[in-house]
Amino acid sequence: MSRAEAFYNENIEKNKSEICNLNKKIEVIGWCRLVILISGLIFSYRSYKSQGFLTAVGILSMTALIFLAVAFIHGKIIGKREKLDIELEFNEKGLKRLKGEYKEFEDDGKELLEENHAFADDLDIFGKNSLFQMINTTRTLSGRRKLGEILSLKKLPNKNSIKERQVSIKELGEKVKWRQQLYVDATFKKKKGEELEELIKWGKESSTGDNLRIGVASLFILITAVIIFLCIVKVIPFSFLILNFMINYVVIKVLTKDRNEVIELFNSIKNSVKAYSNILTLIEDESFNSPYLNRLKEKLKDDSGLLCKNEMRKLSNLLDWVGDSAGNAYFFILNVVVFADVFILFNLNRWRKINGSKIENWLEVMGEFDALASISNLSFDYEDWCYAEITDESGVVGREIKHPLIGDRAVANDYELIKPKQITLITGSNMSGKSTFLRTVGINLILSYIGAPCSAKSFKCSIMNIYTCMRTKDNLEESISSFYAEILRIKLIIEACKRGEKLFFLLDEIFKGTNSKDRHTGATVLVKQLADNGATGLLSTHDLELCDLEEEMKEIENYNFREYYKDNKINFDYKLRRGKSTTQNAVYLMKLAGIEIKK
């Protein structure tokens, strides 16, 4: 049993035991609340009958206090159980990831897939059974977006940044308890998803007239205090106080005409802000060894010396008041007496004046930590994976490379593509493993570039832009056939070559939409052009004649997959071998499908 499996199993058992105990306490306290309420009502009624109204009121008041105290304890225990439920979810997801059951995870990130992306669709970066679905444990919108950006390789990293990222991910991988706490504390009820933009926009807006509002409010509070005193000493009738409250209400509405917009905004993001505050506190309180993580953490500081976590906590506390102000009768009374709405808006605007311009930066830092925590799941879960060695010489060298999304079914292969070799031609019968191997190399390159461990015993590669052409399909809306879609895809690769890009391509069964003669001619011309332009990559094909290029071009090398037959059944070992394919299985597969082949 691996350390990750042992950790998840141990914590799942612990979580379930603690949740079971808390459920028993919650049930007992729930019944106690009911007993307290019923008993209080019964005793107060009897006291009313025997001892009078005041005694009954006293008993009812005492019952209410006891009930509220027990309810408070009840709520605390329920909150603790909810956190344990989330912690259990974290550990169960980790165990499912190890077992290859990540396809059950709800979030597959399919909307993050950009149309015509250079490689994301072909290499299963987003969508069902994807790398994103496997590793994603982000809890924030900014973290989810950042993870999508990292996996899409929006910006190709340099050698030093990859090395720094590797150290960071390895460190976060070891901090599994911290990542678990981040997962728990950052959990909140998800809203419509635009809270980031709304909060950032609010932070950048300016407000005027705050001092005037406070001045007017203070004057009316003073007047109200005088009227209350005069009513108490019976100098003026109580009706004057009611009239004063009505005037105060009108004044408050005038002074806080933008209140409704603010309340609507912050009621929608209140839970998000609490989660953000929790995450930023975790980040600021944690010590890191990685230079990259420490530089990221330093971005939360400013010259004023204010701590981000404290400022976010202040905002979160202010939002509790905003939430209480909505439709609360007690708050309404407080409002017309001391102009609470005016002071809430004043404090929010004062907070915004100090911190509003920093919000975007804070959320970016938070999002990157959230995204890196997801990637570091690989570091903790798969001890036998390796971190890539980044080289300056173009090429790829891997020992015991596996496809990370296949799990235990993955077959390890050794592979190298180094100068003077630039292009690998892979041949083999149907279903023998050609396409999977192309994706194996491609997705391990992606893992290398984002600083994550690779599914291999060792892996070396240079930094190259990745282009693929594997899943081209018809587009009826644009009247594009799959063959023409393939041509357009290859055109992008050729144009990148001509721009002088250092690129790595993965081409699967190119020109399959045309006749064999044109396919061979087109593939030959393409391979030569790619080689002449210094491109590196793999190309799978059923065109065995194309393999003859190895004899005339020093840049070409042949590899193959094959099948074997046992007890009259077809089998595949998915092992990569040097040379071109010597086997075929199309006729056999057609027979399996019930197609009679007449000689």
pLDDT digits (tens, 9 = 90+) for 548-567: 999 989 999 999 998 877 77
Instruction: Flag whether pLDDT at 191 surpasses 60.
Output: no
Instruction: Flag whether pLDDT at 477 surpasses 70.
Output: no
What's the CA dihedral at 405, 410, 413, 415 to 10 degrees? Answer: -20
pTM metric for this prediction: 0.85
Report the candidate in 497, 494, 498 with the shortest Cα–Cα distance to residue 510.
494
Average pLDDT of the residues of the chain: 85
What's the CA dihedral at 240, 241, 242, 243 to 10 degrees? Answer: 50
Percent of the chain past pLDDT 90, that is, above it, reads 44
Cβ atoms 184, 79 nearer than 8 A: no
- Lowest mean pLDDT: which of 64-73, 246-255, 320-329, 570-579? 320-329
The domain spans of the chain are 3-98, 126-381, 389-592
Mean pLDDT of all residues in 449-467? 96
Could you give the CA distance from residue 15 to residue 86 in angstroms, rounded to a whole number? 10
Mean pLDDT of all residues in 217-221? 86
Instruction: Flag whether pLDDT at 194 surpasses 70.
Output: no
Question: Is 506 or 332 the better-scoring residue by pLDDT?
Answer: 506
Question: Is 480 or 342 the better-scoring residue by pLDDT?
Answer: 342
pLDDT in tens, 276-314: 888 999 999 999 999 999 999 999 987 777 788 888 888
Question: Is 350 or 170 the better-scoring residue by pLDDT?
Answer: 170
pLDDT in tens, 4-37: 999 999 999 999 999 999 999 999 998 998 888 8
Q: Would you give the distance in Å from CA 552 to the centre of its chain? A: 49
Q: DSSP character for 412?
A: P
Percent of the chain past pLDDT 70, that is, above it, reads 90
Report strand pairing: 423-428 vs 556-561: parallel
Could you give the CA distance from residue 227 to residue 242 in angstroms, rounded to a whole number? 10
Instruction: Flag whether pLDDT at 590 surpasses 60.
Output: no
Q: In the block, which residue shows the tokens 């709520």?
A: 75
Strand ranges for 358-494 from DSSP E: 389-390, 395-401, 413-418, 423-428, 458-461, 465-469
Could you give the CA distance from residue 466 to residue 118 in angstroms, rounded to a whole number? 7
Q: What is the pLDDT of residue 597?
A: 59
- 570: enclosing H helix or E strand: strand 569-572
Take residue 84 and report the two structure tokens written for it: 């344990």
Q: 418 - beta bridge partners? A: 395
- C-alpha distances (whole Å) from 395 to each of 283, 329, 425, 537 are 38, 71, 15, 8
Report the candidate in 24, 173, 13 with the shortest Cα–Cα distance to residue 92.
13
Q: What is the pLDDT of residue 271?
A: 77
Q: What is the pLDDT of residue 297?
A: 93
Task: Tell whether omega for the bond before 420 is within 30 degrees of 0, i.e. cis.
Answer: yes
User: What topology does CATH give the domain 389-592?
Assistant: Rossmann fold (3.40.50)
Mean pLDDT of all residues in 42-71? 81
pLDDT in tens, 361-418: 999 999 999 999 999 999 999 999 999 999 998 899 999 999 999 988 899 999 999 9
Q: What is the pLDDT of residue 473?
A: 58
